[in-house]
Amino acid sequence: MSERTQVETTCAYCGTGCGLIIDVEEDRIVRVRGNKAAPVNQGQTCIKGAFGYHYIHSEDRLRTPLIKKNGKFTEATWQEALNYISTKLTAIKQQFGGDAFSMFACARATNEVNYVTQKFTRAVMNTNNIDGCNRT
């Protein structure tokens, strides 16, 4: 039998913030259950919290950066993809100004990601065109 480890975390679906325990075997999630010590849910979970993790190991996950060439996506390295984006965004900023750029931030991502997202938008692109699905 392979070793099973437990990781305490917080659910990523709705805004309730249920505490979850993830059981991991061979780098795969094998089970998710409610954390009894968690203040919000005291061990309970809904169907999404307990069973909504299978997408993580799906074959359909994006695995590499993709650049569209002649209408078709082709695999790229990080260096290629980020250089391409950097060149395009720099050109757009120079020609049209930062306000020709918009950022849709992600209300499912961490606070840390969101902080960096707005800092990128404001400090690098020099615009406040940043919003999320917060409104819906």
Partner 1 sequence: MLLLIGSNTTDAHPIIANRMKKAAKKGLKIVVIDPRKISMTKSSVKHLPLRVGSDIALMNGIMNVIIENEWHNQPFVEQNSAKFEQLKKHVASYPLDKVEQITGVDKKDIFEAAKLYALADRAMICYTLGITEHHCGVNNVFDIANMALLTGHIGRVGTGIMPLRGQNNVQGAGDMGCLPNQLPGGISLADSKYRNTLEQAWNVSLNPTIGKTQTGMLEKMEDGLMKALYIIGENPIVADVHKNHTTELFKKLDFLVVQDLFMTETAELADVVLPAKGWAEVEGTYTNTDRRVQRVRKAVSAQGIALDDWKILSDLATLMGYPMNYQSSEQIWNEVRQTAPHLYGGMSYERLEKEMSLQYPCPDETHPGTAIIHQELHLKGKKDRLAPFTPVDYTEPVELPDQNYPFTLTTGRRYEPYNTHTQTKYYPDTLKRKQFEETVDIHPDDAERLTIKNGEYVLVSSRRGEVKVKARITEEVQPNLVFMSFHWPEVPTNVLTINEFDPISGTAEYKACAVNVKKISS
Q: Which is nearer to partner 1, 1 or 133 (CB)?
A: 133
Q: What is the sign, positive or negative, of the torsion defined by CA atoms of 92, 97, 98, 101?
A: negative
Q: What are the CA-CA distances from residue 44 to residues 16, 34, 39, 67 (Å)?
A: 12, 5, 11, 42
Q: Is residue 22 near partner 1 by the rule CB under 8 A? A: yes
Cβ nearer to partner 1, comparing 1 with 62? 62
- Long-range contacts for 109-113 (Cβ within 8 Å, ≥24 apart)? none
> To the nearest whole angstrom, how small is the minimum distance from the Cβ of residue 62 to partner 1?
4
2 binds partner 1 (CB under 8 A): no
List binders of partner 1 among 95-124 (CB under 8 A): 96, 98-120, 122-124
At closest approach, how far in Å is the CB of 1 from partner 1? Answer: 18
Closest CA to 105 of 95, 114, 92, 116: 114
Binding residues for partner 1, how many (CB under 8 A)?
Answer: 97
Residue written as tokens 């991991």? 24
Q: Considering the complex, what minimum distance in angstroms separates the CB of residue 3 from partner 1? A: 14
**Should residue 74 be labelled a site residue for partner 1 when binding is judged by CB under 8 A?**
no
